Amino acid sequence: MEKIPYKIYLSEEEMPKHWYNVKAVMKELPDPFLHPGTLQPMTADELKPIFCDELVEQEMNTKDEYIPIPEGVTEYYRMYRPSPLVRAYNLEKQLGTPAKIYFKFEGNNTSGSHKLNSAAAQVFYAKQQGIESLTTETGAGQWGSALSMACAYYGVPLDVFMVKISSEQKPYRKVLMETYGAKVHASPSTETAVGRRILEENPGTGGSLGCAISEALETAMSRKNCRYVLGSVLDHVILHQTVIGLETQTACEKYGIKPDVIIGCVGGGSNFGGLIAPFMGGRIKGENNIEFVGIEPASCPSLTRGRYAYDFGDTGKMTPLIRMYTLGSGFMPSPNHAGGLRYHGMSPIVSKLYHDGYITARSVEQSKVFDVASIFAKCEGILPAPESSHAIYGAVEEALKCKETGEEKTILFGLTGTGYFDMTAYMNYNSGNMVDHIPTDEDLEKGFATIPDIGK
C-alpha cells in the first residue's frame, strides 16, 4: 500500500457530478412539514412562494439517490474545490495515539466555512428562476459571508439579517459581506414588524438566529419576486453539502482508507449531514459499519437534551412546523463563542437518523473545545473555527481512547472552517476569561414550553 500523503487532493475531473440524496435509501423518512394553520402536510405549491422552485423540488425528493449538480454550480465549486482530505500526522504524534486521524478541510475559501457549498447552489437556482433579490439570516456570519460571495458572482441583490450580538462581536464579518455587495441589518431591527415586536417585548435583546430568520422571512414575503434562503437545517442544504462526503469517499477509495468512526460538529446539521450522507447510505445498505458521532455545545444541546417534536424553525413562528430535535423556538442560548452552533433545532434528516439509532451525539463545554483548538492550531498549523473545534474535540477524545486500548481505529472528522474572525473568542480563552454556560433543566423547560402542542 502506498504511503498516505499528508494531503489528498482530487483533480477537478474527480469532483462529484451528483449530490447524494440519503432520503432515497433511508428505511423510514423524516416526517413532512406541516402547515401551522391546518396541520396538514405542506405541498410544494405552498412552499414555492418562500423558496425557489428547484429547491422545493429537491426538498421533497425522496426517490432519486443521485441528483445532478448543474454545470453552473460546478463552475463556482471549481474556484475553491476539491477540498483536501488531510491525514493529521502531527496531531497523531502529539497525542501519542495508534489511531489514524483524517480531516476533511472546508475552510479554504474566503467565507471560511463549508457554507459556500449550498450558497452557490441556492443562488444559482434563484438566478435561473429570474428571482430579483434574496434575504437571509446569519448568526456568526459565515453563512452571510458565503451567500454574499455567491450573490456577487451570480448577480443577485441580498439583504442579510445578522444576529445583533454577533454583529457587535464580529464587525469585520459585516465589512466582508458589504465588500461583496450585501446589505447587512443588525437583528432584531426596526425594519420589520416582527423585529419591532421582539424589540418591544425584549428591549435589550442581543437577538437570536430564530429571530433573524423571522425578519428575513417577513422581508422576502413582502417584496415582489424575492425569496428567502436558509444556510442549514433543510434537506436541500444537506443535499448540497454532500459534495463534502462524496469527495471524501472518492479520496478514501483511492487510498484504501476505511473510516471506523466519522465525527462532525452539529449546529443545524448541514456539514455533518453532508459529510456522512454517502457513508450512511452504505451503512443502511449493509456495506459498512461506520459509527457516526455528532458533537454539540453544552450550551445549546438540541440532540442530547432536546425533544423530538414538531416545532417552528423561527422565533416569530412564521415557518412550517418541522419535526426535529428542538429546545423550543423560544429558547435563548446563553453566550457561546461557537456562534454557528446556537440554533434551537436540528436538521430533520439528522434528527431522524439520530432518533432511529444510526447516529450518536455528545455535548461539550466551550473551554474544553478551545483547549483542543489550541493544541490543533499549534501542531496542524490551521487556526480552527470554534464550531469546527467541537469535531476536533470528538476526534481527540476518540484517539485518546485508542491510546488506552491500543486500537488502531481510523477516525475521520469534518474541519468545517477557520477562526480568523473569532479573535474575541480566542482572546477570552487566552486570557483565561472563558466561562462555560450549561442550561439547567429549568432553563430548558422554559424553551420546551414554547413548543406548540399539536398532539403529535
* Whole-angstrom distance, CA of residue 241 vs CA of residue 221: 26
Length of the chain: 456
- Is residue 297 a contact point for ligand PLP (CB under 6 A)? no
Q: SS3 for 5? A: coil
Let me know: does 129 contact 49? Beta carbons within 8 Å: no
Half-sphere exposure at residue 453, Cβ-oriented, CA atoms within 13 angstroms? 1
- Is residue 341 a contact point for ligand PLP (CB under 6 A)? yes
Cβ of residue 106: shortest distance to ligand PLP, in angstroms?
7
CB of 97 or CB of 299, closer to ligand PLP: 299
Cβ of residue 40: shortest distance to ligand PLP, in angstroms?
28
Cβ of residue 336: shortest distance to ligand PLP, in angstroms?
12
Using DSSP bridges, classify how beta strands 261-265 and 7-8 pair: parallel, antiparallel or unpaired.
unpaired
- Options 188, 195, 207, 268; binder of ligand PLP; rule CB under 6 A: 268
Q: Which amino acid is located at 296 in the chain?
A: E
Residue span binding ligand PLP (CB under 6 A) among the ranges 23-31, 249-257, 268-276, 306-314? 268-276
CB of 42 or CB of 382, closer to ligand PLP: 382
* Whole-angstrom distance, CA of residue 193 vs CA of residue 175: 26
CB of 143 or CB of 226, closer to ligand PLP: 143
- Is residue 369 a contact point for ligand PLP (CB under 6 A)? no
Local structure of residue 138 (DSSP, 8 states): E
Let me know: does 334 contact 265? Beta carbons within 8 Å: no
Cell, residue 138: 446569519
Residue span binding ligand PLP (CB under 6 A) among the ranges 43-51, 75-83, 129-137, 265-273? 265-273
φ/ψ of 431, rounded to 5, equals -90, 5
Q: Which amino acid is located at 284 in the chain?
A: I
Q: What is the dihedral of CA 238, 241, 246, 252, to 10 degrees?
A: -110
Could you tell me which of 211, 168, 209, 173 has the C-alpha nearest to residue 191? 211
- Options 340, 394, 439, 447; binder of ligand PLP; rule CB under 6 A: 340
Q: How many residues bind ligand PLP (CB under 6 A)?
A: 20
CB of 268 or CB of 313, closer to ligand PLP: 268
- Options 10, 416, 422, 425; binder of ligand PLP; rule CB under 6 A: 416
CB of 303 or CB of 402, closer to ligand PLP: 303
CB of 97 or CB of 301, closer to ligand PLP: 301
- Options 387, 392, 396, 426; binder of ligand PLP; rule CB under 6 A: 387
Write down the residue that cell numbers 442579510 correspond to: 160
φ/ψ of 288, rounded to 5, equals -150, 175
Cβ of residue 198: shortest distance to ligand PLP, in angstroms?
23
* Whole-angstrom distance, CA of residue 326 vs CA of residue 311: 7
CB of 259 or CB of 345, closer to ligand PLP: 345
Write down the residue that cell numbers 423560544 correspond to: 330
Could you tell me which of 267, 264, 268, 297 has the C-alpha nearest to residue 436? 297
Using DSSP bridges, classify how beta strands 158-163 and 133-138 pair: parallel, antiparallel or unpaired.
parallel
Half-sphere exposure at residue 184, Cβ-oriented, CA atoms within 13 angstroms? 27
Let me know: does 387 contact 341? Beta carbons within 8 Å: yes
- Is residue 232 a contact point for ligand PLP (CB under 6 A)? yes
- Is residue 137 a contact point for ligand PLP (CB under 6 A)? no
Could you tell me which of 163, 121, 148, 185 has the C-alpha nearest to residue 267? 163
- Is residue 142 a contact point for ligand PLP (CB under 6 A)? yes
Cβ of residue 340: shortest distance to ligand PLP, in angstroms?
3
- Options 299, 363, 388, 389; binder of ligand PLP; rule CB under 6 A: 388
Cβ of residue 367: shortest distance to ligand PLP, in angstroms?
19
- Is residue 113 a contact point for ligand PLP (CB under 6 A)? yes
Residue span binding ligand PLP (CB under 6 A) among the ranges 203-211, 362-370, 381-389, 428-436? 381-389
CB of 189 or CB of 347, closer to ligand PLP: 347
Cβ of residue 456: shortest distance to ligand PLP, in angstroms?
25
- Is residue 269 a contact point for ligand PLP (CB under 6 A)? yes
* Whole-angstrom distance, CA of residue 222 vs CA of residue 218: 6
- Options 281, 417, 439, 447; binder of ligand PLP; rule CB under 6 A: 417
CB of 114 or CB of 164, closer to ligand PLP: 114
End-to-end C-alpha distance for the chain, whole angstroms: 53
Local structure of residue 24 (DSSP, 8 states): G
Cβ of residue 272: shortest distance to ligand PLP, in angstroms?
6
Residue span binding ligand PLP (CB under 6 A) among the ranges 24-32, 70-78, 267-275, 318-326? 267-275
Give the interface with ligand PLP as residue ranges (CB under 6 A): 113, 115, 142-143, 232, 265-272, 340-341, 385, 387-388, 416-417
